[in-house]
Amino acid sequence: MNMRYRLILWNLPSGLLALLITAALAADDGKDVDWQKAKALYQRGQAGQTLSPEEQAYLDRAKKLRAAPNSGRVPAVSGQKPAPAGTQTTKSPEKPNATVRGVHYGPHELQVIDLWKAESRERTPLVVFIHGGGFRAGDTTKIHPSLIVGCLQAGISVASIGYRLSPEVHFPDHFMDCARAIQFLRAHSADYNIDPKRIAGSGSSAGAGTALWLGMHDDFADPKNADPILRESTRLNCVAVLQAQTSYDLRSIREWIGARTAEHPDAIGFFGLPPGELDTPRAHQVFEQASPINLLTRDDPPVFLIYAGTKTKVIAADAKPGEGIHHAIFGVKLKEKMDALGMECVLKTQEDYPDADTMAQTVAGYRDLVGFLRDHLGAKSTKNER
């Protein structure tokens, strides 16, 4: 925009400026909006990935067009055709303010916890949420309000934890930060009215894989450690996650989903290996150590997995590198292994919510996830739960 016109707009009375903006939006027919692009941006945000300011503005505009009174002329942000009559639709709840924000469990600026405390005279169970972002982006704000509200209504407190990111750190540092956050919360459970014996793990995308890895790893508690935080347990009662990678072994990803998925650009930063060393014995050992599915034993906690896509989606040979990293096949493979061991593993995909638009699928998925948490944490629902 020409600087002259910017100055004119800046000096307009706020009421007139608001009227002009409203009129501009009303005149916006959305013809230049790429709804497949908007869908992809929406799904990246749901997975906990950080959008650039330009991408966020693009998505916000698409959402406003969809919500406007004349929104019947534009498709859903999901990129699907407008939902037929009778289709289940819903709105996401507003995100409540955290009870406690920015509590440090370590010295790094990203090693912080936001906590939403459920109202209760008794100690409450806790779900620890780990954000996504490819291990290189994201923070404690990347948590869906449906999870927070649903858990609070079920009498479950919620902690969203941050952790150091690549390229500053590499595997297993992201995971170990999250382990310490769980230990910190247990050590301070009395301060936050938390029951240290009822803690679950959750997360989206990279955070989902982290939660699974912690749930399936042996306990990191060190009873004789000089640091009292590290004496605490890292074990979880259950794990309930979204868009999880159950393996970070690039060989398995290539076999299960496709070569392009295994070429995800975040892999180099996560593993801390040069591109030319991703197919070496050293790399293979790291892949195996980083993969939750390789750690599974019969004494590990029950798992709930949910994916936005289908089990049968095919990733094209010419797809962009990393496409398919949230494929439901990750969940299928873990469920097969847990079923064979007689362990509980609930898997939900897009096929389980066929009569709902994208937002309704999201809210319904979180409702099922919270129900799983409630059942396994022995939570007591509040009067506001619906």
Are 65 and 184 part of one and the same domain? no
Task: State the pLDDT at residue 363.
Answer: 82
Choice among 139-153, 300-314, 347-361 with the minimum mean pLDDT: 347-361
Are 138 and 244 part of one and the same domain? yes
Are 118 and 42 part of one and the same domain? no
Are 106 and 67 part of one and the same domain? no
In a domain? residue 84: no
Are 259 and 304 part of one and the same domain? yes
**230-245: pLDDT as tens digits:** 999 999 999 999 999 9
Are 230 and 366 part of one and the same domain? yes
Are 154 and 192 part of one and the same domain? yes
Are 60 and 109 part of one and the same domain? no
**11-65: pLDDT as tens digits:** 445 444 444 444 444 445 566 777 667 766 776 665 555 667 677 877 777 766 6
In a domain? residue 384: no
Q: Domain containing 282: what range? A: 100-377
Task: State the pLDDT at residue 34.
Answer: 76
**290-349: pLDDT as tens digits:** 999 999 999 999 999 999 989 999 999 999 999 999 999 999 999 999 999 999 999 999
In a domain? residue 88: no
Strand (E) or helix (H) holding 239: strand 239-242
> Mean pLDDT in the chain?
85
Spell out the alpha helix ranges (H) of the chain. Answer: 3-10, 14-27, 35-46, 53-67, 145-153, 173-187, 206-216, 250-256, 259-262, 266-271, 281-290, 292-295, 329-340, 358-377
In a domain? residue 382: no
CATH classification of the domain holding 313: 3.40.50.1820
Are 216 and 121 part of one and the same domain? yes
In a domain? residue 383: no
In a domain? residue 336: yes
In a domain? residue 93: no
Are 58 and 118 part of one and the same domain? no
In a domain? residue 64: yes
Are 65 and 125 part of one and the same domain? no
| The overall pTM is greater than 0.85 | no
Task: State the pLDDT at residue 200.
Answer: 98
Question: Residue 378: which residues within 8 A CB-CB, separation 6 or more?
Answer: 125, 198
Are 201 and 338 part of one and the same domain? yes
Question: Residue 142: which residues within 8 A CB-CB, separation 6 or more?
Answer: 48, 50, 131, 132, 133, 160, 204
The count of structural domains within the chain is 2
